A = this chain, B = another copy of it.
Amino acid sequence: MDRYEVLELGPLEAWDALTTPDGRSGKGFVDKMIGTQYIGLSANAVEPGAESPFWHSHSHLEEIYLFLDGEGQMALDDDVVDVRPGTVVRVGQDVLRIIRCSPDSERPMRYVCIRAGNGELASLPRDATRDGERPRPW
Protein backbone atom coordinates (compact mmCIF):
# COMPACT_ATOMS: atom_id res chain seq x y z
CA MET A 1 0.00 0.00 0.00
CA ASP A 2 1.42 3.35 -1.01
CA ARG A 3 1.52 6.35 1.30
CA TYR A 4 -1.42 7.69 -0.65
CA GLU A 5 -3.45 6.76 -3.71
CA VAL A 6 -5.52 8.82 -6.14
CA LEU A 7 -8.46 7.42 -8.12
CA GLU A 8 -10.75 9.19 -10.58
CA LEU A 9 -14.31 7.88 -10.32
CA GLY A 10 -15.54 10.64 -12.61
CA PRO A 11 -18.55 12.86 -11.98
CA LEU A 12 -21.77 11.32 -10.63
CA GLU A 13 -23.10 10.70 -14.16
CA ALA A 14 -20.11 8.43 -14.84
CA TRP A 15 -20.94 6.19 -11.89
CA ASP A 16 -23.73 4.53 -13.91
CA ALA A 17 -21.03 2.81 -15.99
CA LEU A 18 -19.07 1.38 -13.05
CA THR A 19 -19.00 -2.42 -13.13
CA THR A 20 -17.91 -4.94 -10.53
CA PRO A 21 -15.82 -8.00 -11.46
CA ASP A 22 -18.95 -10.17 -11.09
CA GLY A 23 -20.80 -8.03 -13.62
CA ARG A 24 -23.02 -5.87 -11.40
CA SER A 25 -23.37 -2.50 -13.06
CA GLY A 26 -23.54 0.89 -11.40
CA LYS A 27 -21.33 -0.27 -8.53
CA GLY A 28 -17.62 0.27 -7.99
CA PHE A 29 -15.68 -0.79 -4.91
CA VAL A 30 -13.05 1.86 -4.29
CA ASP A 31 -11.37 -0.44 -1.76
CA LYS A 32 -10.85 -3.01 -4.51
CA MET A 33 -9.78 -0.47 -7.14
CA ILE A 34 -7.12 0.84 -4.76
CA GLY A 35 -5.83 -0.81 -1.62
CA THR A 36 -7.36 0.49 1.61
CA GLN A 37 -6.56 -0.35 5.19
CA TYR A 38 -9.62 0.25 7.35
CA ILE A 39 -12.18 1.95 5.09
CA GLY A 40 -14.46 0.23 2.62
CA LEU A 41 -16.13 2.50 0.08
CA SER A 42 -18.41 1.83 -2.86
CA ALA A 43 -19.80 4.24 -5.44
CA ASN A 44 -23.28 3.29 -6.63
CA ALA A 45 -25.84 4.25 -9.26
CA VAL A 46 -29.44 3.04 -9.52
CA GLU A 47 -31.80 3.91 -12.41
CA PRO A 48 -35.28 5.28 -11.65
CA GLY A 49 -37.52 2.35 -10.73
CA ALA A 50 -34.60 0.01 -10.06
CA GLU A 51 -33.60 -1.38 -6.68
CA SER A 52 -30.96 -3.43 -4.88
CA PRO A 53 -30.99 -7.08 -5.98
CA PHE A 54 -31.46 -8.31 -2.39
CA TRP A 55 -31.81 -7.26 1.23
CA HIS A 56 -28.63 -7.63 3.25
CA SER A 57 -27.22 -7.10 6.71
CA HIS A 58 -23.80 -7.19 8.37
CA SER A 59 -22.97 -8.89 11.65
CA HIS A 60 -19.73 -6.96 12.30
CA LEU A 61 -19.50 -3.95 9.98
CA GLU A 62 -21.02 -0.52 10.43
CA GLU A 63 -22.14 1.16 7.21
CA ILE A 64 -22.92 4.76 6.39
CA TYR A 65 -24.82 5.59 3.22
CA LEU A 66 -24.50 9.09 1.78
CA PHE A 67 -27.02 9.87 -0.95
CA LEU A 68 -25.85 12.37 -3.55
CA ASP A 69 -28.29 12.40 -6.46
CA GLY A 70 -31.82 11.31 -7.33
CA GLU A 71 -34.60 10.43 -4.94
CA GLY A 72 -35.76 7.16 -3.48
CA GLN A 73 -36.32 5.06 -0.42
CA MET A 74 -34.19 2.98 1.89
CA ALA A 75 -35.83 0.24 3.91
CA LEU A 76 -34.32 -0.70 7.27
CA ASP A 77 -35.97 -3.80 8.77
CA ASP A 78 -39.62 -2.75 9.01
CA ASP A 79 -39.07 0.98 8.38
CA VAL A 80 -38.91 2.91 5.10
CA VAL A 81 -37.00 6.20 4.90
CA ASP A 82 -37.17 8.69 2.02
CA VAL A 83 -33.71 9.64 0.77
CA ARG A 84 -32.51 12.55 -1.35
CA PRO A 85 -29.23 14.40 -1.97
CA GLY A 86 -27.59 14.96 1.41
CA THR A 87 -29.37 12.19 3.29
CA VAL A 88 -27.00 10.21 5.51
CA VAL A 89 -28.06 6.85 6.94
CA ARG A 90 -25.88 5.06 9.51
CA VAL A 91 -26.70 1.36 9.80
CA GLY A 92 -25.64 -0.75 12.76
CA GLN A 93 -25.15 -4.50 12.92
CA ASP A 94 -27.85 -6.99 11.93
CA VAL A 95 -30.17 -4.40 10.39
CA LEU A 96 -31.55 -5.56 7.04
CA ARG A 97 -31.51 -2.86 4.39
CA ILE A 98 -32.52 -2.45 0.75
CA ILE A 99 -32.60 0.61 -1.52
CA ARG A 100 -34.57 1.74 -4.51
CA CYS A 101 -34.62 4.76 -6.78
CA SER A 102 -38.18 6.08 -7.08
CA PRO A 103 -39.84 5.35 -10.43
CA ASP A 104 -40.57 9.08 -10.75
CA SER A 105 -37.09 10.29 -9.75
CA GLU A 106 -35.90 12.80 -12.31
CA ARG A 107 -32.34 11.53 -12.02
CA PRO A 108 -30.73 8.20 -11.24
CA MET A 109 -29.87 7.71 -7.59
CA ARG A 110 -26.16 7.97 -6.93
CA TYR A 111 -24.75 7.28 -3.49
CA VAL A 112 -21.73 6.06 -1.64
CA CYS A 113 -21.66 3.31 0.96
CA ILE A 114 -18.89 3.47 3.56
CA ARG A 115 -18.10 0.46 5.72
CA ALA A 116 -15.70 -0.25 8.55
CA GLY A 117 -15.34 -2.69 11.40
CA ASN A 118 -13.12 -3.59 14.31
CA GLY A 119 -9.74 -3.65 12.57
CA GLU A 120 -8.20 -3.82 9.13
CA LEU A 121 -10.67 -4.68 6.36
CA ALA A 122 -8.56 -7.62 5.19
CA SER A 123 -8.63 -9.16 8.67
CA LEU A 124 -12.40 -8.95 9.13
CA PRO A 125 -14.63 -11.97 8.57
CA ARG A 126 -17.02 -12.03 5.64
CA ASP A 127 -20.04 -10.92 7.58
CA ALA A 128 -22.74 -10.13 5.02
CA THR A 129 -26.01 -12.03 5.05
CA ARG A 130 -28.24 -11.82 1.99
CA ASP A 131 -31.99 -12.29 2.10
CA GLY A 132 -33.36 -12.67 -1.40
CA GLU A 133 -36.79 -13.90 -0.28
CA ARG A 134 -37.96 -11.10 2.00
CA PRO A 135 -40.69 -9.04 0.28
CA ARG A 136 -39.94 -5.51 -0.88
CA PRO A 137 -41.77 -2.81 1.10
CA TRP A 138 -42.69 -0.66 -1.91
A34 within 8 A of B: yes
Copies of this protein, total: 2
Q: How far is the CA of A116 from the CA of B36 in the complex (A)?
A: 11
Across the interface, do B41 and A114 meet the contact criterion of CB distance under 8 Å?
A: yes
Q: What range describes how many residues of A lie at the interface? A: 35 or more
In the complex, the chain B residue whose C-beta lies closest to that of A37 is: B62
Across the interface, do B86 and A9 meet the contact criterion of CB distance under 8 Å?
A: yes
- Interface of A with B (CB < 8 Å)? 1-12, 14-15, 30, 34-39, 41, 61-64, 66, 68, 76-77, 79, 81, 84-92, 94-95, 97, 112, 114-120
Given known A-B contacts A76-B3, A114-B41, A8 and B66 have beta carbons under 8 A apart: no
